[in-house]
Structure 1
């Protein structure tokens, strides 16, 4: 456990050195400005859900790739083959560190608009679920590219489908019926919506889905991380 927390601390240091924390704050401030100008809109809850959905997912999906490609460019990943730290510890620390950044940024957005009405537990769980799943999906997609620009071009449609299809369903533009239950982030979206609006969600669906999807995504991400990212470095 000590090794994990040491790795977690160093991951925050690396995020700062790679300017990931600063960029995350910058993205969040842009979203906060949008919320400020729309604060009197009757649909502010839906706007907030939409922005909160995008904030941790953008931070998770694109910034994990940016961090890996930056470190690969400077030959910082190769030493991981000889380090005594287990690769699972290193990868889990990376996922958790960036997830915490994503959750704090999304929490900042929500608090600025719905401080007194926010259900913090559900909101944080939903934001963490979206950020962690986005990070793991980003790692999986690195299998198909060797540089960040190519990664962005190839994976943007996947990201848009991953995030925007549930969002379009939530906004009522389409009705997927029971098909919505098959969307990976639908459970996390339900938690965020409840955290902001206090409506309702299906705990018998939300929590089992997260408990199943997170390990599955992690297994696929770890294989890509070891076979494609580390070996290629």
Structure 2
């Protein structure tokens, strides 16, 4: 655990030094400015979409950029010569980006809304950030350049973002209910309106299920696409 915390702090420094925090700050300001002009009748729904997009789209894109940047700098060639395990590496990436997502989303919410339910908001942001960070990492290890990542990642992420249309009543499907984005949006809705206890725990269960599955998948693929090419079988 101590090693994970130290690596998380190191990751946060790396992200700050390479301007990722400034990008989050810029996007937060843009989101807040945009939400200030949304009519009151639509503010809750639009806020849900905006806040949900923070850990999902930004988290996935930023982890992709981080992994590709570290690959280009040869970080992994030396990193895994140490006792560090792939699991610890993944957890530190997930934690560092989840923290900044929570801070960014919380800032947006506090600047736009005076009252909201903290528990579904925090749980929804953290679990959604974990899931989409892992999705972004899975995509990043398969490509070699930022351009390749920018071409492939939106196509995959758009599939997960489809449940958003259900918020506006345009289209709904039972298939949506098993996507992590549906569960995340449900928790975001619980930020502004009462959420049934069954719905809360079902959403948490679905997000945890995806998080565990994606973590195991990412761990395997990191061995396959990163460590194998570095000649390491850690």
Q: Given the two structures, how large is their TM-score scaled by the length of structure 2?
A: 0.91
Q: Which consecutive unaligned segments of at least 5 residues does structure 1 have? A: none
Moved over 2 A (4+): 229-233
Where do residues 159-174 of structure 1 align in structure 2 (5 Å cutoff)?
Answer: 159-163=157-161, 165-174=162-171
Where do residues 56-205 of structure 1 align in structure 2 (5 Å cutoff)?
Answer: 56-115=55-114, 117-163=115-161, 165-176=162-173, 178-195=174-191, 197-201=192-196, 202-205=199-202
**Distance apart, 1:156 and its partner CA:** 0.9
Q: Matches of 2:16 and 2:228 in 1, distance apart?
A: 25
How far does the alpha carbon of each residue in 1:44-68 deviate from its partner, in whole angstroms, 9 at most, with x for none?
A: 0001001011111122100001011
Q: Is the 8 A contact 1:49 1:192 kept in 2?
A: yes
Where do residues 7-22 of structure 1 align in structure 2 (5 Å cutoff)?
Answer: 7-22=7-22
Cross-structure match for 1:55: 54
Q: Which consecutive unaligned segments of at least 5 residues does structure 2 have? A: none
Cross-structure match for 1:215: 212
Distance 1:226 1:18, change over 3 A: farther
Distance 1:20 1:171, change over 3 A: same
More moved, 97-106 vs 68-77: 68-77
Q: Matches of 2:129 and 2:123 in 1, distance apart?
A: 10
Q: Matches of 1:99 and 1:226 in 2, distance apart?
A: 23
**Distance apart, 1:92 and its partner CA:** 0.3
Q: Matches of 2:163 and 2:209 in 1, distance apart?
A: 19
Q: Matches of 2:222 and 2:27 in 1, distance apart?
A: 26
**Distance apart, 1:204 and its partner CA:** 4.0
**Distance apart, 1:199 and its partner CA:** 3.1
Total equivalences in the alignment: 228
Q: Matches of 1:181 and 1:158 in 2, distance apart?
A: 18
**Distance apart, 1:143 and its partner CA:** 4.1
Q: Is the 8 A contact 2:120 2:187 kept in 1?
A: yes
Secondary structure of residue in 2 paired with 1:43 = helix
Q: Is the 8 A contact 1:129 1:185 kept in 2?
A: no
Q: Matches of 1:29 and 1:59 in 2, distance apart?
A: 14
Q: Matches of 2:14 and 2:141 in 1, distance apart?
A: 22
Q: Given the two structures, how large is their TM-score scaled by the length of structure 1?
A: 0.92
